[in-house]
Amino acid sequence: MLSIGLMSGTSMDGIDAALLGVDGDYDTIKDLGHVSLSYDAETKMLLKGAEYSIRRAKGNMAVAHHHFSTDLFTYITHEIQLPDPTKVINALMHYLYGAEQVIALHDVIQLSTHLHIECVKRLLVQTGCSVSQIAIIGYHGQTVYHQPSACLSISLGNPQHMANELGVTVVHDFRRQDVEAGGQGAPFAPLYHHAIAQRDRIVPVGVINCGGISNITLIQSSSELDIISYDSGPGNALIDLFVRKKTMGAECMDMDGAYGRKGKPHKTTLDALRAKALFKNGINYLNVPPPKALDIGDIMLIPEVMDLSINDGCATLEVFTAQTIVQSLALIQHHHTCTTLLPQRWILCGGGWKNPVIKYNFEEELKIYLSGKLSVETADEAGWNSAAMEAQIFAYLAVRSLSRQPLSLPNTTGVSKPMPGGMHYQPNNRRN
Residue 119 lies in a domain: yes
* Residue 415 belongs to some domain of the structure: no
| Axis crossing angle, helix 41-56 with helix 85-97, rounded to the nearest 10 | 110
Given 378, 393, 409, which residue is the final one in a domain?
A: 378
> If DSSP codes are grouped into helix, strand and coil, which group holds residue 31?
strand
Q: Are 2 and 393 in contact (CB under 8 A)?
A: no
Ranges of H-type helices in 57-104: 61-74, 85-97
Instruction: Let me know: does 241 contact 213? Beta carbons within 8 Å.
Output: no
Q: Is the CB of residue 181 less than 8 Å from the CB of residue 415?
A: yes
Q: How high is the pLDDT of residue 248? A: 84
Of 318, 152, 141, 321, the closest CA to residue 231 belongs to 321
User: Does a structural domain hold residue 351?
Assistant: yes
| Percent above pLDDT 90 for the chain | 85
Residues 176 and 325 in one domain: no
Q: Cβ of 353: how many Cβ atoms within 10 Å?
A: 20
Query: Is 410 part of a structural domain of the chain?
Result: no
Average pLDDT over residues 398-418: 95
> What's the confidence (pLDDT) of residue 24?
59
Count Cβ atoms within 10 A of the Cβ of residue 395 and give its class: 0-12 exposed, 13-18 middle, 19 or more buried. Answer: buried
Residues 248 and 367 in one domain: yes
Q: Kindly report, residue by residue over 121-165, the tens digit of the pLDDT.
A: 999 999 999 999 999 999 999 999 998 989 999 999 999 999 999
pLDDT at 267 over 50: yes
Range 89-113 average pLDDT: 97
User: CA distances (Å), 291 to each of 160, 212, 217, in order?
Assistant: 33, 18, 11
Residue 231 belongs to domain with CATH number: 3.30.420.40
In the chain, what's the furthest Cα-to-Cα distance? 63
380 SS3 class: coil
Residues 248 and 365 in one domain: yes
Mean pLDDT of the chain: 93
Domain co-membership, 344 together with 372 = yes
Q: Are residues 324 and 209 in the same domain?
A: yes
With cut-offs at 50, 70 and 90, classify the pLDDT of residue 296.
Answer: confident
Residue 266 and residue 364 in one domain: yes
Domain carrying residue 15: 1-181+421-432
Position 281 scores a pLDDT of 85
| pLDDT tens readout for residues 334-370 | 766 444 478 999 999 998 999 999 999 999 999 999 9
Those residues whose C-beta lies under 8 Å from the C-beta of residue 217, and which sit 6 or more positions away, are 187, 189, 190, 193, 194, 206, 207, 208, 209, 227, 228, 229, 412
Q: Let me know if residue 275 belongs to a domain.
A: yes
CB 196 within 8 A of CB 165: no
Question: Domain total for the chain?
Answer: 2
Q: What is the pLDDT of residue 20?
A: 97
Please check whether residues 153 and 124 belong to one and the same domain: yes
- Say if 388 falls within a structural domain: no
Q: Which residues contact 112 (CB under 8 A, 6 or more apart)?
A: 8, 43, 47, 141, 142, 156, 157
Is the same domain home to 158 and 212? no
Please list the residues that pair with 36 across neighbouring strands. 16
Q: What mean pLDDT is predicted for residues 302-313?
A: 97
Residues 45 and 167 in one domain: yes
Same domain, yes or no: 143 and 280 = no
Query: Does 232 lie in the same domain as 116?
Result: no
pTM for the model: 0.92
Q: How confident is the model at residue 11 (pLDDT cuts 50, 70, 90)?
A: confident
Percent of the chain whose predicted confidence (pLDDT) is above 70: 96
Query: What pLDDT score was predicted for residue 340?
Result: 47
Categorize the per-residue pLDDT at 328 as very low, low, confident or very high, splitting at 50, 70 and 90.
very high
Residue 110 lies in a domain: yes
